Structure 1
Amino acid sequence: MSVRRAFIGVVTVLVVGSIGAGAFFLSRIDPNDYKPEIQAVVLKATGRALTLDGPLSVSLSLWPVITAEKVQLANLPGGSRSYMVRVNQFRAQLSLPALLWHRLEILNLSLTGPNILFEEVDHQPNWLFKAAQPAGASNMPAAATPPVKSSGGFSLRIRAVHIVNGMITFRLPAKTTVVGVKALDYSHSQDGGPVSIASTLVYSDFAPFTVAVHGTPTGGVSAPWKTRLDFAAFGATAKAAGTASLDGSFDATVQGQAPKLEALNALLPALGLPALHGLVFSTHVTNGPVRGDLPIIGQSSVRFGSADFTSVIPGLQFGAVSLAVDHAGGTAQVKAAGQYQTEPFTLAANLGMPADPNAANRLALHLTAQAFAQNRADLKLDGTLALTSLRFAGLDAATVLHMPALAKLRALVSPAVPDLTNITFSGNIALPAALTQIGLTKATLATSSGTLAGSATIGIGLPVRAQAQLQAQQLDVDALIKAFGLTSDSAAKPAPAAAASNGPLISDTALPWPLLRGPDIDLRAEVDRLTFLHQAWDHLSLGLRVKDGRLTLDPLRLGASPALATVTLNADATPAIPAVQFRLSAPALPLAFLTGRLGLPGPAAGNLALNTVVTAQGKSLHAMAGTLTGSLSARMGASSISNATLKLLAQASLDALHITVPAQGQTAIRCFALDGSFTKGIANFKTIALDSTYLQMAGDGQVNMGAETMALKLHPMARIVGSSVAVPVIVDGPWRTAKGTLQASVLDKVGLLLDGLFGGDTAKGCAAPPGSS
């Protein structure tokens, strides 16, 4: 036998004998007597106290297995709970040979039902362990350090861990997450060697997902590790390769794919991932400045085949989309195509990327977009997009939009979208983080009907909120009304069916008073040249306020100094019966405008001076007419109306006097005057005067606005035996069927009433005709 073989034999006998002696020794002792020794070894290795509340047992073997129950490892002092790890059952297989080298080496550690907490305590991660300091130097509270016997200089090694039915809580500064552990296997076969972790995890009772990590140290335990991570969940897979440290810092390149990204909302519900399909991505990521923050995105590329955003914006879908980022804090180039409510669109954008996505960022945004296959619309945005932790925090951008026909939006937005054409908008748009309003500044809206410029703030959602200051050089309101599907003439001219009906002439349809209860609108407008109701007006100024159920028009002015017309209106919809105050001062209203609005035939020329101050109450125009209280005054000098209009207005008097007026031609008016007052819907006219080509008359009378009846005592001029005399004519009855008569019986019945009401037959306004009594 050689010396070498003899030496090996002796060593083998000594080792085996020592192990055998150790096994014999273990069989003769009670392991519970050595709890303090075990606790001391763990304390020295981790700096944390170990609590063993349950009994310990040891199997008889050269690789004995220690079993324990109710085991706890202490948390850092000041943590959210006293323990970091709590285990229902603990099984550890020891290496007896390692005891010869003063190492407590656990070959296999099995944990059943562990509850593990990862958190930061005073900015210190609790998963980083520090060896216990010598006696007298420890900063650990005395209560956290149990009394221990000498550990004999043993060190701790764990080679493999198997966990089943556990729970891990990540309580990090950014958020708290709880993950169930269905199974987890850890392997670290040798000191300074690689570490592998393979796990099957469960989040919020959804289907399990798998995470596998392999790391190789580049130095000590706290130094960066070369790492590889594999993730699989709900059909999505990702692979990461780079470096990571136990303190939570990392630097890695991640590649992955997700057939249906929305399935991952089970794991990341806070992100609200959209229904995005065919995702393929590659990105470089590093940790944020605070553990648990969103990662910092570096060089990246992303593409997907389709996405459905109908849950966010109904009808919005994307087709192919690509995104490329050059570096962290660089620029993302985006190209996309899609459709909204079946209408196609494309867009291209350059968007600044945040250097730290967890902070507040203002990012440069340049976007161009086109929509609609026919009558294409173009949009450009240049400005800044604000994000906080990758959530929308505001938009401020110069905007240019051109649309050949706004009606293309009816199928997308609302049938009420007006039929405006050649629309160009330019201005600055601002959206706040809460998306409660749209701010427009330095804005210009040009259409085929005119151009508006100014600023506005428009609320998003209900109730309606808007504030605007607008200016325009030319504005065709008639074209705007038509674009909204209305006609300016239809409101003034009664339909034939209505004229023949037995209902009231003044509409008794309820006005839309509820529309005033909710909106908050403040509108100021200046228009140099306005076309309204086929009449051109020079200079319009408007102040309109709607708030708390009240509408104030204060004032509306037509014409420069002096104003052609000034209107003030106060309407209060808050009481059960709405109330209105109305004031009109119009020194020179075009007569053609009035006859056109009243639906009277033929041309007209001249101006009418009109002044009125009235109040009324009611839910409809008819109800308000029956409560009118105030005054009315009208004056007109040299002017003309059509013969057809004269016959419509004075038919009763003309018939009574057998005055024939040709159907064609014009009637010259030399003077017209009307003065009256209203009291609860009863109009008392003390002056009714007319001097025209075919008819001269003066008179007075009474009109019941609610009942729509009249009783007028007029003095038309008639030729009797070659002389001009004023002949009393009584016009009375409902508005629809009023008739004029010279019958004495009527005079006897009605004349006394009229004389009593109006103080006799003296005409006021125009001069009384010669020979009148």
Structure 2
Amino acid sequence: MRKLKWVLLAVIVIPIALAVTAYAIISTYSFDEVKAIAREEVRKATGRELVIDGPLDVSLSLSPAVTISDVRFANAESGSRENMATLERFELKVELLPLINGDIEVQELVLVGADILLETDESGAPNWQFSPPEAASGEGTETTADQARETGRQQMPNLQSVSIEDSQVTYRNGETGESTTLTLASATITGSGDLLDLELDGDYREAPFSFAGSVGGLDRLTGGGDYPVKLEGQLANADIGLNGNIISMTTDPRLDLQVSLEGESLAAFSDVSGTELPDLGPYSFDGHLEGEMASLSLNGMTLEMGESDLSGDLNLDTSGQRPRITGEVQSTLLDLADFQAGSGGSEDENGEGNGSDSESSTDSDYVIPDTQLPLDALQMVDAQLQASVSTLRVQPDTEMSDVEITLALADGKLDITPVRAGFSGGELGGGLSVDSSSQPPRLAVDMTMEDFDFGRLLRERGLTEDVEGTADITLDLEGNGNSPRALASSLNGRSEIVGGEGVITNRLLAIVSTGLSEIMGPLLGDSEQTRLNCVVSRFDFQDGVATSRAQLIDTTTFSVAGGGRIDLRDESLNMNFDTSTRQTALVSLAVPFNVRGTLKDPSFSPDPAGTVAAAAKLFGSDKDPEEILGSILSGGGSDGQAEEEENNPCLTALGQTEGQTQTSGDGQQSTAEDGSQVEDSAEGVADEVEEGIKGLLGD
């Protein structure tokens, strides 16, 4: 019993006595000395100064807790402000026994009101890379990444639980001077070793976020090597996933992350990105992001927006005067409406686009809009891109197929060459250039369309089922201005539409414009349709004025030829046409007519006095106008050409313009040398009798 008594005394009484003694010692200990010790230890570990202005409280146990307030931790000498971190309150609970072996096991760490600055200096060195005095004074010593990581393990505690409240972290790029701030309403970090579990809520540039997942431990953050990140959550009402590594945290950080993003509208990211983004409707994105901040690559990218999809590889280089984007992208379906502001190019109740800057058809006297084009955006970035799109939807009822383009943008000058695409059964080719650096901006188009099936286009648009025909179209135009109207008002160059056999109907004449069917419709006689032999429409453009070089439509029933001008500066029309019929009973109905008014409101009026002189102007010939028109209608010509032109009456019209001077887009004069050029251009079929601007499309 006596032995048991002493055993119990040793087990119970001695620890109590030791605790009482320890408390007596600590309670009489000067906490100012404790602060001094803490400052010295921090200075030895980091080479930085620690200042504690508030009181220090200690609670004793096998896991003693320390609470301090008003703490400041000095920044690097090259930092932009004096302190790297300040905090209102700091609570720390550590395991007592591991301290015997020199290990710091933090059971709980609480930060309240922390303000932390992470930044790089002008040379890119981070302020979270510490240089203890002993290491800094060493000469000729280099620390490898493994050594730095091992040193980090020795210096940094093992954190089991971290709680952060009402705090913020700011990242500042010392090379650019730009900074962003992340505010934490609450954050908890639990775990130990290389990976820590993380949950946080707050806002970034006033956009709310919440994330959960895992990140690397403190030794990874300060000791070098790869820093793992695996997070899922929400930012700006979008679901976001990050999975990968941030490489070389202590030198030049590089990203190696798989990124996913899905949300209802990109407009929610306007505050995050620092620029106003359009409301384009729901989207989803996935890709592998890698590289340094100044040179990032996005590989294996997939983007879905509305019905559109996009995939490929892109590179972003921000080291130059302007960001530069390079890469290749592909798409099975690209609907331009999905990339127009207003949830995928929505329409108002009248069926008009909802762009606030555009003029509605009821408010404007013009067809060509005066909407300002966003050409200034071309000076914000440089690019070199190749794109291939299986189906490009330009409008809900207009699609292009197998689109191939090469885009080059530098110093505000955009060149899209070559362009290849299929459209309404035809093949589109050529190029387009825009120079936004000139004042006013300059636009040039050099495009050709072979075998354009305008009958198919009219059927797809639901305008008429009965029209058949194909056309070859050539555009060689250039203009200057910031809007479509300004560009049209300054156009120089030429346009040409040449077509062959097909079918037209009385309904088509009504679609082209009110009034035209009343003049030409009777020429169809008892039939609702007639075979089309050919169409020729040629315009020369000079300073916004389109002057006809040839306007002809020839059918098995009737023919129309004419000419005149279209002034695109005010969209006024001054065209004259003569008609003829092959049906003797309808000869009295074949009267000349004039086209006046504007593109928006054209008027067609018969001219019984006769305006066949316009046909003479059309062909620039010394022959009698009636002889010219008769020659066209009969398929006649010179004796050497009679048989050939009888098979194709349009060759007569084309032949009459052979040898005339032409004004090209650069203002130079050119002359057709032989009939082969004319014959080569008479293969397709196209639109109309009126001008070639409004055409058979009825737009």
**Aligning the two structures, in what range does the TM-score lie when normalised by the shorter sequence?**
0.5 to 0.7
Aligned: 1:740 with 2:598: no
Structure 1 residues 661-676: aligned runs within 5 Å: 669-676=532-539
Q: CA 1:680–1:688 in structure 2 vs 1: closer, same or farther (change >3 Å)?
A: same
Letter of the 1:348 counterpart: G
Correspondence for 2:303? 445
Is the Cα contact below 8 Å between 1:364 and 1:383 reproduced in 2?
yes
Q: CA 1:442–1:412 in structure 2 vs 1: closer, same or farther (change >3 Å)?
A: same
Aligned: 1:236 with 2:98: no
Provide, for residues 227-263 of structure 1, a one-character-per-residue CA deviation record: whole Å limited to 9, x for no partner.
x996723232446768999xxx97544566545141x
- Match among 334, 356, 362 for residue 226 of structure 2: 362
Correspondence for 2:433? 570
- Match among 518, 525, 548 for residue 380 of structure 2: 518
Correspondence for 1:468? 327
Provide, for residues 69-109 of structure 1, a one-character-per-residue CA deviation record: whole Å limited to 9, x for no partner.
xxxxxxxxxxxxxxxxxxxxxxxxxxxxxxxxxxxxxxxxx
Is the Cα contact below 8 Å between 2:427 and 2:449 reproduced in 1?
yes
Q: CA 1:508–1:392 in structure 2 vs 1: closer, same or farther (change >3 Å)?
A: same
Q: Secondary structure at the match of 1:768?
A: helix
Q: What displacement does 1:569 show?
A: 0.9
Is the Cα contact below 8 Å between 1:210 and 1:232 reproduced in 2?
yes
Q: Secondary structure at the match of 1:361?
A: coil
In structure 1, what is the Cα distance between the partners aligned to 2:374 and 2:242?
39
In structure 2, what is the Cα distance between the partners aligned to 1:332 and 1:665?
80
Q: What displacement does 1:641 show?
A: 5.6
Q: What displacement does 1:335 show?
A: 4.3
Letter of the 1:519 counterpart: V
Structure 1 residues 350-749: aligned runs within 5 Å: 351-353=215-217, 355=219, 357-365=221-229, 367-371=230-234, 379-389=240-250, 393-401=253-261, 403=262, 405=264, 409=268, 416-420=278-282, 423=284, 425-430=285-290, 432=292, 434=293, 436=294, 438-446=296-304, 449-458=307-316, 465-479=324-338, 481=340, 484-487=343-346, 490=352, 498-499=360-361, 503-533=365-395, 534-559=397-422, 564-591=427-454, 601-603=463-465, 605-640=468-503, 643-649=506-512, 654-655=517-518, 659=522, 669-692=532-555, 696-718=559-581, 722=585, 724=587, 727-735=591-599, 736-744=601-609, 747=611
Q: CA 1:524–1:751 in structure 2 vs 1: closer, same or farther (change >3 Å)?
A: closer
Q: What displacement does 1:557 show?
A: 1.2
Provide, for residues 429-461 of structure 1, a one-character-per-residue CA deviation record: whole Å limited to 9, x for no partner.
1252x4x56521122334562432211134789
Q: CA 1:609–1:395 in structure 2 vs 1: closer, same or farther (change >3 Å)?
A: same
Letter of the 2:573 counterpart: M
With normalisation by structure 2, the TM-score equals 0.61
Q: CA 1:309–1:653 in structure 2 vs 1: closer, same or farther (change >3 Å)?
A: same
Q: Secondary structure at the match of 2:376?
A: helix
Q: Secondary structure at the match of 2:550?
A: strand
In structure 2, what is the Cα distance between the partners aligned to 1:766 and 1:584?
34
In structure 2, what is the Cα distance between the partners aligned to 1:499 and 1:769?
39
Q: What displacement does 1:716 show?
A: 1.1
Q: What displacement does 1:506 show?
A: 1.9
Structure 1 residues 67-466: aligned runs within 5 Å: 177=48, 207=53, 232-234=68-70, 235-238=89-92, 251-254=103-106, 257-258=109-110, 260-262=112-114, 265=115, 290=135, 296-304=155-163, 306-307=165-166, 309=168, 317=184, 319=186, 321-326=188-193, 330-336=194-200, 345-349=210-214, 351-353=215-217, 355=219, 357-365=221-229, 367-371=230-234, 379-389=240-250, 393-401=253-261, 403=262, 405=264, 409=268, 416-420=278-282, 423=284, 425-430=285-290, 432=292, 434=293, 436=294, 438-446=296-304, 449-458=307-316, 465-466=324-325
In structure 2, what is the Cα distance between the partners aligned to 1:581 and 1:286?
60
Q: What displacement does 1:553 show?
A: 1.3
In structure 1, what is the Cα distance between the partners aligned to 2:337 and 2:226?
44
Q: CA 1:675–1:512 in structure 2 vs 1: closer, same or farther (change >3 Å)?
A: same
Structure 2: gaps spanning 5 or more residues: 1-31, 59-63, 71-88, 121-129, 138-150, 172-179, 638-699
Q: Secondary structure at the match of 1:545?
A: strand
Q: CA 1:378–1:620 in structure 2 vs 1: closer, same or farther (change >3 Å)?
A: closer
Q: CA 1:460–1:378 in structure 2 vs 1: closer, same or farther (change >3 Å)?
A: farther
Q: Which has the higher helix share?
A: 2
Q: CA 1:332–1:759 in structure 2 vs 1: closer, same or farther (change >3 Å)?
A: farther
Q: What displacement does 1:337 show?
A: 5.8
Q: What displacement does 1:699 show?
A: 2.3
Q: Secondary structure at the match of 1:486?
A: coil
Provide, for residues 328-371 of structure 1, a one-character-per-residue CA deviation record: whole Å limited to 9, x for no partner.
xx33333456678787744222x344657545422344x24144
Q: What displacement does 1:624 show?
A: 1.8
Q: What displacement does 1:687 show?
A: 1.6
Letter of the 1:427 counterpart: G
Q: Which has the higher strand share?
A: 1
Is the Cα contact below 8 Å between 1:551 and 1:571 reproduced in 2?
yes
Q: Secondary structure at the match of 1:509?
A: coil
Letter of the 1:290 counterpart: A
Q: What displacement does 1:405 show?
A: 4.5
How many residues end up aligned between the 2 structures?
Answer: 534
Provide, for residues 727-750 of structure 1, a one-character-per-residue CA deviation record: whole Å limited to 9, x for no partner.
443434544344333243x859x8
Q: CA 1:678–1:211 in structure 2 vs 1: closer, same or farther (change >3 Å)?
A: same
Q: CA 1:231–1:269 in structure 2 vs 1: closer, same or farther (change >3 Å)?
A: farther
Is the Cα contact below 8 Å between 1:635 and 1:672 reproduced in 2?
yes
In structure 2, what is the Cα distance between the partners aligned to 1:381 and 1:765?
74
Is the Cα contact below 8 Å between 1:431 and 1:439 reproduced in 2?
yes
Q: What displacement does 1:515 show?
A: 2.1
In structure 2, what is the Cα distance between the partners aligned to 1:768 and 1:450?
50
In structure 1, what is the Cα distance between the partners aligned to 2:622 and 2:514?
25
Letter of the 2:574 counterpart: A
Q: What displacement does 1:675 show?
A: 1.8
In structure 1, what is the Cα distance between the partners aligned to 2:615 and 2:243?
80
Structure 1: gaps spanning 5 or more residues: 1-160, 180-200, 213-227, 273-284
Q: CA 1:531–1:733 in structure 2 vs 1: closer, same or farther (change >3 Å)?
A: closer
Q: Secondary structure at the match of 1:388?
A: coil
Give me the CA root mean square deviation: 5.4
In structure 2, what is the Cα distance between the partners aligned to 1:683 and 1:542?
30
Q: Secondary structure at the match of 1:659?
A: helix
Tell me which moved more, 291-300 or 696-705: 291-300
Letter of the 2:383 counterpart: I
Is the Cα contact below 8 Å between 2:523 and 2:586 reproduced in 1?
no
In structure 2, what is the Cα distance between the partners aligned to 1:766 and 1:456?
62
In structure 2, what is the Cα distance between the partners aligned to 1:585 and 1:611?
5
Q: Secondary structure at the match of 1:564?
A: strand
With normalisation by structure 1, the TM-score equals 0.56
Q: CA 1:438–1:590 in structure 2 vs 1: closer, same or farther (change >3 Å)?
A: farther
Q: CA 1:680–1:716 in structure 2 vs 1: closer, same or farther (change >3 Å)?
A: same
Letter of the 1:510 counterpart: Q
Letter of the 2:190 counterpart: L
